[in-house]
Structure 1
Amino acid sequence: MTTTLTRPGALAASGHPLVRPQAARHLTDEQIAELGVELDAIRDDILAKRGATDAAYIRRVIKVQRGLEFAGRGALLFGRNKAAWIAGTTMLSFAKILENMEIGHNVLHGQWDWMRDPDIHSTTWEWDFVTPARSWQHTHNDLHHRWTNVVGKDRDVGYNLLRMDADQPWKPFNLGNPLYNAMLAPVFEWGIALYDLELPEYNEGLKSKADLKRDLKAVGIKAVKQFTKDYAATPAVAMLTGSGKQALYGTLVANAVRNVWAHAVIFCGHFPDGTDTFTEENVEGETRGDWYVRQMIGSANISGSKLMHLMTGNLSHQVEHHCFPDLPSNRYAEVAVRVREICLRYGLPYTTGPLPKQVASTWAKVFKLALPGKGHFRKGKPASA
């Protein structure tokens, strides 16, 4: 299952007049169309250039990741030695971050399907995350990337747990926003697994009981595999050296580190100040160019070094990823220069900042939206609202 993007122009058949977000209201229909053509040209250019260098890149990253995981688990077999435990836990943490972010997430988007390599393909890859790849591809690729930040359609806005938009009705439950977010971060993979079950859809009658049972079974099977690998197999072998307990703690810490990192990167890409959310009215009659605009003003980047970009799975280029989710991640840096120039030329915001700033901004929103009131976050709301 690769990333499927319904061409937004098809929505124009609904006959509803388009109400553009505030940040794009100064643009004419002609300018929006031109912007769409320019961004399509960027995508076509990268598609034409990808080749052996890109294939070598992803194979090299996979090789490094597997080497780190092997070395990390090997060091944990001697975890009674403090230095070995620190080295093993650190290498395993890095390996899990690389697999989840730069490899798994991007392979499952179909970024490397063009290689025709059955071992690095969106239909065969199963990542080191509790949620099954196919379930995640449905909620993420098919739904989130289609309805990015559209309140009421994109359930990634708050993940059915947090109030992350001022137009989400406030309830006393939301007072726990900061606590819920703090608890979610170290167990993020489990939160995503629960989210991918689409329980609200089931309760609303939008998902059948048979489909829910199928997804529950898939999560159960995947959870058993993850537990066996991390919390049974590695500690069991480590028991031979008297390091079983240390190996268990090491894998627990590595998973927690990966989860906290993934949570931070994903939240920084979607929720800092400067990112817009949208009403369903904003997407009625949406054209291809309008869809691009929504991706650009509804996402945020993280500035930093090449290593930081690698460890975020290049989701530090979230704006570019949302515009072109199926382009190879190693190309986002060069794409970002062109996308930023287009935003500047068309008078559109291009939100970016260092990781500490973006994390602080996101957490500030978590705290503010724990309280009743609309706040000042919405820029995508139509003028009549």
Structure 2
Amino acid sequence: MTTEPHPTVAHLTPADYEAIARELDAIRDEITADLGERDAAYIHKVIRWQRALEVTGRALLMASSLPPAWIAGTATLSVAKILENMEIGHNVMHGQWDWMRDPKIHSTTWEWDNVSPAEQWKHSHNFVHHTFTNVIGKDNDVGYGILRVTPEQPWHPVYLAQPLYNALLAMFFEYGVAVHDLELDKVRTGKADPEVTKEKLRAIGKKIRRQWGKDYLAFPLLSGPQFLTTLGADFTANIIRNVWAHSVIFCGHFPGDVEVFEVGEEQLDGETRGEWYVRQLLGSANISGGSLFHLMTGNLSHQIEHHLFPDLPSNRYAEIAPRIRELCEKYRLPYHTGPFGRQIGSTWKKIARYAFPGPKRVPVPPRAPLAGRRPVAA
């Protein structure tokens, strides 16, 4: 059965969209004007802790043949890799810390501990995803090109196995991210420029060789007779980091109450700032938790705030979240949030459900500005 689970946006007038844009722009301007020493101290502290954890994990793995050292070293290295990818790498490459004018923590210079080349990620994520969030046919993050996560996507028998290959995607998520900017659907249909694809593949191959050389050759060799156990520990730490990143990101985009959009080119071209803001609100979900949990998610547990303000420092999202929620209540808009268990359960339930045909969609009358919006199937 298909139902409308949230309040509709039909009640919003053009004046409402303009007011929403003004209020959200005011929040952005206020935070931007207040950035300063405490924010710089925050990111420097996180980087120091991340590097200390990585050094500690690597040191423990020098004795990786001993089970306690292997467990402790693997766990510590896993936390270090999560921090580097989520709270540091992802956010630095978004330009959240460019205002500091520090060349060591700048979106143009940072290369993260991941097989995905930074430049390709910044195009597929910063530009494509954050511009066309949840727009079918424009945002490649809707199902990551291999998953059916909404009834708007045509069903094909290949989706029957998607719970299995979603599990594989979680384990090797960095490789899925690495090929994301290739736009494999265009490669398959011959719409991609072969030379551009080859150049991107060369860059991916170079980055993979660099990462493998570090994690699967250099550090295992440094551990001497513990080569194989250190190799296993590095592999395990990467899997843990990948599964965690996949879980957090999917919880921010695919829980059952998050919407997708069927929007034409003309509507996108004419989309106002207020309409873009509302699309971010409807197409995002938060995960509730404490400060340590938020840190370990890279503050992507505040996915709504991140989609609204992707280049504001992540340490400010918790501060502005109550104000965003109040704005949603004021304009009768949904503010999707819930504990991690509920969000991840809802996401996997959706992936399992849409592995099969259906459900049928109930047409809704067109309405501006989100004329292509469809209700989410229960």
Say if 2:233 is the partner of 1:250: yes
The amino acid that maps onto 1:35 is I
State the 1:264 CA deviation.
0.1
**Residue 13 (structure 2) pairs with residue 42 (structure 1):** no
Counterparts of 1:245 and 1:298, CA distance in 2: 44
Q: Are the counterparts in 2 of residues 276 and 377 from structure 1 also a CA contact under 8 Å?
A: no
SS of corresponding position for 1:243: helix
Q: Distance in 2 between matches of 1:214 and 1:50?
A: 39
Contact kept in structure 1, 2:262 and 2:373, CA below 8 Å: no
Q: Is residue 264 of structure 2 the alignment partner of residue 275 of structure 1?
A: no
Letter in 2 for 1:257: I
- How big is the shift at 1:384? 9.6
Aligned to 2:56: 71
CA–CA distance in structure 2, aligned partners of residues 153 and 236 of structure 1: 44
Tell me which residue corresponds to 1:359. 344
1:301 alignment partner in structure 2:
286
- 1:302 match: secondary structure: strand
Equivalents in 1 of 2:294, 2:363: separation in Å?
Answer: 28
Q: How many residues align?
A: 363
Q: Does 1:61 align with 2:52?
A: no
2:126 aligned with 1:132, yes or no?
A: no
Q: Please give the alpha-carbon distance, in whole angstroms, between the structure 2 residues aligned to 1:377 and 1:86.
A: 52
Moved more, 368-377 or 351-360: 368-377
User: Per-residue deviation at 1:136?
Assistant: 0.4
C-alpha distance in structure 1 between counterparts of 2:112 and 2:360, whole Å? 38
Structure 1's 377 and 74: CA in aligned 2 closer, same or farther, altered over 3 A? farther
Question: Aligned partners of 1:151, 1:136: CA distance in 2, in Å?
Answer: 19
Q: Which residue in 2 is equivalent to 1:161?
A: 146
Unpaired runs of 5+ residues, structure 2, are 1-5, 365-369
Do 1:78 and 1:238's aligned partners in 2 also have CA atoms closer than 8 Å? yes
How many Å separate the matches in 2 of 1:211 and 1:284? 26
1:235 counterpart = 2:239: no
Deviations 1:121-173 (A, max 9, x none): 00000001101000000000110000000011111101111111111000010
| Matching residue's letter, 2:177 | I
Q: Deviations over 1:236-256 (max 9, x none)?
A: 0112xx211110111011000
Aligned pair 1:97/2:74, yes or no?
A: no
Q: How many angstroms apart in 2 are the aligned matches of 1:131 and 1:106?
A: 15
* Contact 1:76–1:88 (CA under 8 A) maintained in structure 2: yes
Paired residue for 1:264? 247
Structure 1 stretches of 4+ moved >6 Å: 376-381
Q: Is the 8 A contact 1:276 1:378 kept in 2?
A: no
Change (3 A) 1:357 1:128: same
Amino acid at match of 1:87: A
Look up the equivalent residue of 1:237 and give its one-letter code.
L
Does 2:322 correspond to 1:337? yes
Q: Contact 1:299 / 1:318 at 8 angstroms: preserved in 2? A: yes
Q: Which residue of 2 aligns with 1:115?
A: 100
Matched, 1:171 2:156: yes
Letter in 1 for 2:171: P
Counterpart contact for 1:369–1:375, Cα < 8 Å? no
Counterpart amino acid of residue 312 in structure 1:
T
Residues 186 and 260, structure 1, Cα contact 8 Å, conserved in 2: yes
Q: TM-score, normalised by structure 1?
A: 0.91
Using structure 2 for the length normalisation, give the TM-score. Answer: 0.92
Quick check: 1:102–1:313 contact (8 Å CA) kept in 2? yes
CA 1:111–1:127: 2 relative to 1, 3 Å: same
2:134 corresponds to: 149
Aligned to 2:367: none
CA shift for structure 1 position 378: 10
In the TM superposition, residue 199 of structure 1 has moved relative to its aligned partner by 2.5
* Deviates further, 373-382 or 99-108: 373-382
The one-character-per-residue Cα deviations of 1:204-262 (angstroms, maximum 9, x if unpaired) are: 454322211111111111001100110001110112xx211110111011000000000
SS of residue matched to 2:275:
helix
SS of the residue corresponding to residue 143 of structure 2 reads coil
Which deviates more, 174-183 or 368-377?
A: 368-377
Amino acid at match of 1:123: T
Contact persistence 2:171–2:240 (CA under 8 A): yes
- Shift, 1:22, TM fit: 7.2
Supply the AA of the counterpart residue of 2:255: P
Question: 8 Å contact 1:152–1:280 — kept in the other structure?
Answer: no
